[in-house]
Structure 1
Amino acid sequence: MIGNASGPDSLMALAAELGEACVDRGWRIVCGGLGGVMRAVGEGARRSARASGGDVVGLLPTLDPSTANPFVDVAIPTGLQHGRNTLVVSSGDVVVALGGGAGTLSELALAWQMDKPIVALTGEPGWAATLAGQALDHRRSDRIHEAATVDEAVDRVAELLKKSPNAWAAFSKGGTPKD
């Protein structure tokens, strides 16, 4: 999950809904582990009836694990600052973006170059909505997948996991790419 480090309440509510829906499906979440969308996704994940600890992995920019938001179950201090964006997008089977400033833009570009499927929620302004439905360049024949709602986003992620030869089912707790 990638998105704004801060933003309006409407964006945070959308992020929380997304976090809860993903854990409801039995998926784990990798994020940057700090505030804003990262915190809201974790808060939503914690609300899921399937929440069980270990649901949210936070890849922190510093070496200080205490910087993780309280909803991160597994905090990994990288010491890489913005370089940790590479780890965030490379660690997931599908990258889901909402809102988004410059950090999210860098993560979208990295995910594109890594050939990661990308789903962009369009309900809030930011790079996710701006780039939804677009190809970033000629390297790929697909586009960034557009989703207007959280339900559409998680359905799209499920479809992409079924198609992905690299989907890491072990990262799902009891779910499979077919869920």
Structure 2
Amino acid sequence: MAIVGVMGSGKTEWLELSVPLGHWIAGQGFDLLTGAGLGVMLSTARAFATTPGRKGRSIGIMPSEAHPEHGFVPLAGYPNPYIDLPVLTPLPRKQPDAPADALNRNYVNVLTSDVVVALPGGPGTLDEIRLATRFGKPLICVGPEPAFEGVPPGTRIVGELENVFAFVLARTSTGAG
């Protein structure tokens, strides 16, 4: 079963994109991977989890912080309630002042995904787009083109979800069929 990673804003839900995308991923029988937080991560996971008859699981890669007794614990608010399989890593969120190659949970998000779909977001989303490009992951961005300022040259940006659906199906070997 293919894992479709959906990256995007941790604040804005982009409902017109995230809800139909979450339903579609579930309807195809794919697993969904997000960062387990709010914004796009929450709305996509909610749509995915509430799709009748879904077969895939909602996977959430959580940022953490050190804890004296438990080693690491999720940051407050993680995972959102629509995550079936929360994955706790000892990796933090990407910090704005961190070097470009600083390890963070974005590596796990991208490297675990078979296909990466990016919705508009902030610096963390841009980092995930750059990592997908660096590691040769199939990547497509959906939303208004100005929302993707700073992505690597040649990054595919589309305005319609139908283009995303075709892209994902062409790069995965499974689907509802």
| TM-score using structure 2 length | 0.77
Other structure's SS at 2:172 match? helix
Using the size of structure 1 for normalisation, the TM-score is 0.76
Query: Which runs of 5 or more structure 1 residues have no equivalent in the other structure?
Result: 138-142, 163-175
Query: What is the letter of the counterpart of residue 98 of structure 1?
Result: L
* Equivalent residue letter for 2:58: V
Aligned counterpart in structure 2 of residue 64 of structure 1, from 35, 56, 73: 73
Larger deviation, residues 62-71 vs 79-88: 62-71
Q: Is 1:47 matched with 2:50? A: yes
Which of the pair is proportionally richer in strand? Answer: 2
Q: Distance in 2 between matches of 1:178 and 1:64?
A: 36
Deviation at 1:161, TM superposition (A): 2.3
The percent identity for this pair of structures is 27
- Confirm or deny: 8 A CA contact 2:114 2:138 kept in the other structure: yes
1:94 and 1:59 mapped to 2: Cα distance? 16
Q: How many residues align?
A: 153
Instruction: State the alpha-carbon separation in 1 of the partners of residues 81 and 92 from structure 2.
Output: 20
Q: Secondary structure at the match of 2:59?
A: strand
- Counterpart residue number, 1:148: 159
| Residues 59-79 of structure 1 deviation map (CA, whole Å, 9 limit, x = unaligned) | 000143572000011001112
CA distance in 2, matches of 1:121, 1:89: 17
Secondary structure of the residue aligned to 2:157 is: strand
CA RMSD of superposed structures (Å): 2.3
Amino acid aligned to 2:90: G
Structure in which a larger fraction of residues adopt helix: 1
| CA–CA separation in structure 2 for the residues paired with 1:40 and 1:178 | 22
